[in-house]
Structure 1
């Protein structure tokens, strides 16, 4: 049965929330491997295992792709490799909460650049304030921020913004999840130089291999599949703000799994992040209803096929050719 237009935003929001829940648990598992494999070694194994799983499940047929589709998948893979590698290199040096908060500058700046409504910009500002508070909490807390770790996470933030753009591009030009599978293969190939020593290490230790597989599923397969599907239902500017749930869940996971304290400042930051996400979601639903009503009044056509640039659920904005 064809999915109704009115259900698309709710499904998209649910997919982003599930992605945000999966990622911090994956990061917590990955951190246990850093002393043995190093952050880049863990990144390589995680991406390689995720690529293998998706290729087996999806069975993509890239030989039939056009040049545009191949370019999108390759750039997507570049963003995946760099974003994950620099993120793990950063959390090897600075705490998880502040790292996620700083990295979120990438999608926040992207959301602000893509917004067309004053309300969207206001909610971006609220989410940004929450990120700032999380960063301040990391600065004034017991754990100081290593300068090199901050540099790494800023690089990861830039590639996160690129990942959002290229994920939307892949979703627009490649049906299904074949683009994700091939993008992960590209990322795995790029990470081979740092992945070979890690692969040799885990080959003789089934416990390490199991932890690497769990990391791949929680940090790559689940979130990337869900985010790719969400970007087909939500515009990039809304997707970027909804991702503000991720540092909130990361802070919660740090408290539940790693025993990190939840200070009043951190709780305030979480409240601001949740408020921004809820406000954006409600605004999208109201604008969606108006767009549906206008479509019925004007043409009676299904606005999924209209591509109206002023509507809240336009097709992802492609990169210039």
Structure 2
């Protein structure tokens, strides 16, 4: 992780407030896989809610419930925050919220695994722009070929809905790149969850005007409430708690390599939860994009945040 200015780096967490010791006993690679599964199971719940409310509203509920849980747990107001630190956290929160809103919009039109693969272009572009040596360049080419296989060959681009889905997924990838760059500033010193709590509040407030007229659809009956809670807990709270443990235990290259399993994980979740069977070109694209993320992450020394809010 890059250096964090002293004015921006909150104090380390007291031992009593750190993620549980039981989680620390689990092998780190298994934790990364569980984190990916949890996140995309939550996305699977989000797809089932698309008939009841806009995707932006689903994303807003996810962010808001996650913010409430993190606020109750971390109580970040007990720390001293500078104005600059709060501003950077707000930028981080808005970037991650935008990423989620756009991603949920994309999975209204695309299979889950396909949308995730296209979105992964964002991290690869960051690796291409900031990395050194041949790896990020080769990774960029692999990612472009993979997206071409998915978007140009695996999808029917004459369909307006699929074109919208591809554009939304690419835009989500751009927001993911912004998340990585702002995350480098706010993360560090073992206080990621406190910064995340502040950031999630900023993201929730930013998108409140977009969701306020349709948010009540989440409260129509108990099954819908449970699915909304499932989205928030599985896609926000559980993965971020896991990542706070994993990011302190793995080298950046190992973490990035395991992160490359996420498109394949989302494909499995799409098949099991949503009966979304990929075609041959989509599988080829998934393999190429996953390989690009793995290769692009093995050459650098800076640890990069790997999970969406």
Q: Same fold (TM over 0.5)?
A: yes
Q: Would you tell me which structure has more helix in proportion to its own residues?
A: 1
Alignment: residue pair count: 282
Unaligned ranges ≥5, structure 2: 1-14, 16-23
Q: Is the 8 A contact 2:114 2:286 kept in 1?
A: no
TM-score when scaled to structure 1?
Answer: 0.74
Q: 1:46 aligns with which of 62, 80, 88?
A: 62
With 188-197 and 112-121 compared, the bigger mean Cα shift is at 112-121
1:71-98 superposed Cα distances (whole Å, 9 cap, x missing partner): 2210111112211111112221233233
User: SS of the counterpart of 2:224?
Assistant: helix
The answer to whether the 8 A contact 1:245-1:277 is kept is no
Other-structure match for 1:183: 199
Counterpart among 74, 77, 80 of residue 61 in structure 1: 77
Structure 1 or 2, whichever has the larger Rg, is 1
Distance in 1 between residues matched to 2:264 and 2:212, nearest whole Å: 34
Question: Which protein, 1 or 2, shows the higher relative CO under an 8 Å CA cutoff with sep ≥ 6?
Answer: 2
Displacement of 1:149 in angstroms is: 2.7
Deviates more, 1:47-56 or 1:146-155: 146-155
Partner of 2:228: 212
Contact 2:180 2:304 in 1 (8 A): no
Whether 1:75 and 2:91 are equivalent positions in the alignment is yes
**Deviation at 1:217?**
1.1
CA distance in 2, matches of 1:258, 1:69: 41
- The reply on whether 1:134 has 2:150 as its aligned counterpart is yes
Give the superposition deviation at 1:128.
Answer: 5.0
Aligned 8 A contact 2:154 2:280 in 1: no
Deviations, residues 203-236 of structure 1 (Å, cap 9, x unaligned): 3422111110100011122234444555556687
Contact 1:248 1:270 in 2 (8 A): yes
Which of 99, 103, 110 is the matching residue for 2:119? 103
Deviation at 1:47, TM superposition (A): 0.8
SS in 2 for 1:188: helix
CA contact (8 A) 1:96 1:250 kept: yes
SS at match of 1:77: helix
Moved more, 128-137 or 159-168: 128-137
